[in-house]
Structure 1
C-alpha cells in the first residue's frame, strides 16, 4: 500500500503541474529528454499535420559487426551478427509541450532469449514527456534511469563498439516510473542539472505484480565552464571540436528496494528479494578534438547471496562490487579518431568465489563519415581475470563494426 500511495501522490503532482502550460513562441520539433537515447544530427523522416496538432518523427539505426574471439581455455571463434537494430518514433500530440518517444529493438541480443512465461523485450522506451518550458520536464513511462553517463548516452553515440565492463555489471538501465528533470544549461557560464526518478525497480517489460518495493534515483550534474556544443555531453568524442575547454561532473545515487533480479533491473531472478544501493560519479572533458572521460560505479547489498530452497548448492547473487573506467581520444582533422580505454572491476568479497576481478585494455580506431550516425569502427580488447583461488585467465578479441542511422 505504501508503494501505491507514493505513486498516486506523484501522479497528482504531475497532473497539477500539467494544468500550468507555458506557451512557446517557437514550435519544438524534436524530443530532447535527458533520459532518452538522444543522438541525432539528422532529422529522420518527419510528418506534421497541417494544423500542427501532432508530429511524428521516424528514425532507425543498425550496428553490424564481426568479432574474432580468443578466450583462454576455449576454442578460437568468429562471430558475425546484427548487434543492434532500433526503430524510434517521437513527436508530440496536441501541443509541443506534450511529447512522446517510442523505441523498439529487433536484434537478437537486444531482445534476448524467449523464455516460457516471460515477456518479449522488444519495447525499450515508451514514455510521455510534459515539458512546460526549457527548464522542466516530467515523464511517465519506460525509459532510462538517470544513472551513469555512458549508459545514458545512446549506444549509437559511443566511440568504441560497446560500453565498458563496469557499465555492463553496475548500470541501472531502463525502468518504468516517473521522472522529473530540471535543466539549467548555458553555453558559456556555469550550468547545472538535477534529475530524479521513482520507478518500479524491476527493469523493462516486467509485469509481475508481486513486488512491493520501489526504486529511488537522484542525480546532479554541473558544467563549470558552460554546456557542451550540440548536447555534446550525450555523445563520446569531441566531434564539435570545442573551441573552449568544457567539463562535466556528475554524481548519482540509486536505491532499489526488495529487488528481484541479480543487478536490479537486469540479470536472472534471485531466490529471495534484496535491497540494493548504487553510486555513480562521472567526468567528461572536451577541448579542440581531445576528449577524456572517467567513471566510478558501485553496488552494495546486505547478504547478497541467495539460495534455492530446494537445493542449497544452487545459488544466485547480487553483483556487488565497484569499478572505474578511463577513456581518452583525439579526433584528427580527417575525422579519424584514436581511442584508448582502461577498465578495472573489483567484486565484493561476499561474491569473490563466484566472480573474478577483471581488467580490460581497449584500443580503437573510428572513421566518422556522418558523425556518429554513419561510422566505421575497429577495436582490439585484452582482458585479465583474477580468480580468488589464485589463478588468472586472459582473453582478447578484435572487432570491426559499421553503424548507420537517420
Structure 2
C-alpha cells in the first residue's frame, strides 16, 4: 500500500514538473521571439526577429589639447571636445531601403546660433535605395561627392584635422538627390561614378528664394583593383596592402546663384554668385606605406560683393587654388609617422583680403584599435604671405585622443 502510494505521488510530481518545464520553455521562446537580435561589429546593431528593420548605433569622440604661438609671440592653450558624433543607420522594410542619420554635439560642430538661423545639430539625414550592388540612389542631406579627404570621415584621418585647402575649398554637405554607380573588384580595373543635384546652400539651410541649384559629378579609377576593407575611405595603410593599390579621381561642381562665401559654407554674401569647383585626388597604398595628393580650386566671376547700405562692408567668394601632399609609414607595432605639406594661393581679386598660405605638419599616431581608438600627436608650422608683404608665422603642437564604436 505504501509502495503504491509512493509510486502514485512520484507520477503526480513528475507530471507537474514536466508540465512546468514545457510552460517555461514555451514562455521563454515567446519572449525571445519578441526581442531584437544584437550584433557587435561596427557599433551596436539591432535587428527585428522578422528582419523588417535594422538599427546600428555608433558614436565617436575627439578630445584634444593644443598649444599655440603666433608671429608676435602670443601664446595660448586650448583644450576642448573637438567632435562628438552620434550615428544611426540601417534599413526599414527591406535591406534595399536604407537610412543614415548623424548628429553632432561639440561646440565647433554646431557653431554659434545666429538670430533667425538654424541650429546645426543635424549633419546627415538621408534615405538610400540600393536595388543592387552597383547602384544606389539617395535623397536627403549628406556629403557631396567632392574631394576625397572631405568624403573620408574625420575619424579616419591620420593627423588631427583636414588640410587648409579642404577647409577653404571643399563643397561639404548639402540637401539633394545623389546617384552612385559602383564597380569595384579586388584585383582588376575598377571604377565608380557619382553625381548629385542639390540646393547649394549647405546643411540645415531653409531660406531659399531662387531656383539656383548645385550640380556635382565625380569619377574614380582603381587601376589595380579596390583597396582592402574600403581602404580608399580612410587614411594610412592600416590593412597593409599586399599588392600596390592606386586610386585616381576627378570631380567638378557648379553652384548656381550661391548665397554663401564658400558655396555651402561661410557667411551670407550681399549678392549671389555662381561658383565652379574642380577637385583631383590620388591615393597610393602598399605594405604599410601610404601617399596622398590633392588639387582643389574654386572660381567665380566678380567674387567681391558689397553691402548696399555700407560701401566699406564687403564679403567675397573665396576663390583660389591649393595642393596637398601627405605621406606616411605604419610600423609593425602600429605606430605611424606622417608628414604633410599644403600650399594655398588666393586669386588676385581677393588678394587684398586673404594671404597665400603654406603649412607643414609632422605627426605620430598610435593605433590601439585601428581608427576607432587612437592617440595622435602633431606639430604644425604655418606661414601667411599677405599682399603688403606682411608675412606672419604661426605654429602649434597638439595631442588628441579619438575613441568610438
Common topology (TM > 0.5): yes
- Following superposition, the deviation at residue 72 of structure 1 comes to 1.5
Structure 1 segment 21-170 matched on structure 2, within 5 A? 42-73=41-72, 75-170=74-169
Deviation at 1:209, TM superposition (A): 2.3
DSSP-derived class of the 2:210 partner: coil
- Aligned positions of 1:330-345 closer than 5 A: 330-345=329-344
Distance 1:253 1:380 in 2: 33
Q: Which residue of 1 aligns with 2:387?
A: 388
Cα distance in 2 between the residues matched to 1:153 and 1:405: 16
Structure 2 gap segments, 5+ residues each: 1-36
Deviations 1:74-114 (A, max 9, x none): 62000000000000000000000000000000000000011
How far does the alpha carbon of each residue in 1:124-147 deviate from its partner, in whole angstroms, 9 at most, with x for none? 000000001110000000000000
| Match of residue 364 from structure 1 | 363
Paired residue total: 367
- Separation of aligned partners in 1, 2:318 and 2:210: 20
CA distance in 1 between counterparts of 2:67 and 2:235 reads 25
In the TM superposition, 1:3-402 aligns within 5 A as 42-73=41-72, 75-402=74-401
Deviation at 1:73, TM superposition (A): 3.1
Give 1:269 deviation, angstroms: 0.3
Instruction: Report the secondary structure of 1:350's partner residue.
Output: helix
Return structure 1 stretches of 4+ with deviation > 4 angstroms: none
Structure with the larger helix share:
2
Report deviation, 1:394. Answer: 0.1
Query: Once the 2 structures are TM-superposed, how far is the Cα of residue 211 of structure 1 from its aligned partner?
Result: 3.0
| Alignment CA distance shift 1:241-1:256 (3 Å) | same
Once residues 112 and 398 of structure 2 are traced to their aligned partners in structure 1, the CA distance between those partners, rounded to angstroms, is 23
Deviation per residue, 1:33-83 (Å, 9 max, x gap): xxxxxxxx9421111111000000100000000000001236200000000
User: Larger C-alpha radius of gyration, 1 or 2?
Assistant: 2
> 1:388 and 1:75 mapped to 2: Cα distance?
23
Mapped partners of 2:277, 2:41: distance in 1: 35
Inter-partner Cα distance in structure 2 for 1:210 and 1:46: 41
**Separation in structure 2 between the aligned mates of residue 335 and residue 402 of structure 1, nearest angstrom:** 15
TM-score by length of 2: 0.90
Cα distance between partner residues in 2 of 1:235 and 1:390: 39
Q: CA deviation at 1:391?
A: 1.6
Report the Cα distance in structure 2 between the residues aligned to 1:387 and 1:45, rounded to whole angstroms.
Answer: 50
Distance in 2 of aligned mates of 1:64 and 1:55: 30
User: Which SS does the other structure have where 2:350 is aligned?
Assistant: coil
Q: Which moved more, 1:88-97 or 1:208-217?
A: 208-217
SS at match of 2:166: helix
> What is aligned with 1:9?
none
Greater shift after overlay, 54-63 or 203-212?
Answer: 203-212
Deviation, 1:386, is 0.3
SS at match of 2:383: strand
Q: Which runs of 5+ in 1 are unaligned?
A: 1-28, 30-40
Task: Find the aligned partners of 1:209 and 1:269 in 2 and give their Cα distance.
Answer: 12
Which TM-score applies when normalising by structure 1? Answer: 0.90
| 1:211-256 superposed Cα distances (whole Å, 9 cap, x missing partner) | 3200000000000000000000000000000000000000000000
Instruction: State how far apart, in whole Å, the 2-side matches of 1:330 and 1:44 are.
Output: 28
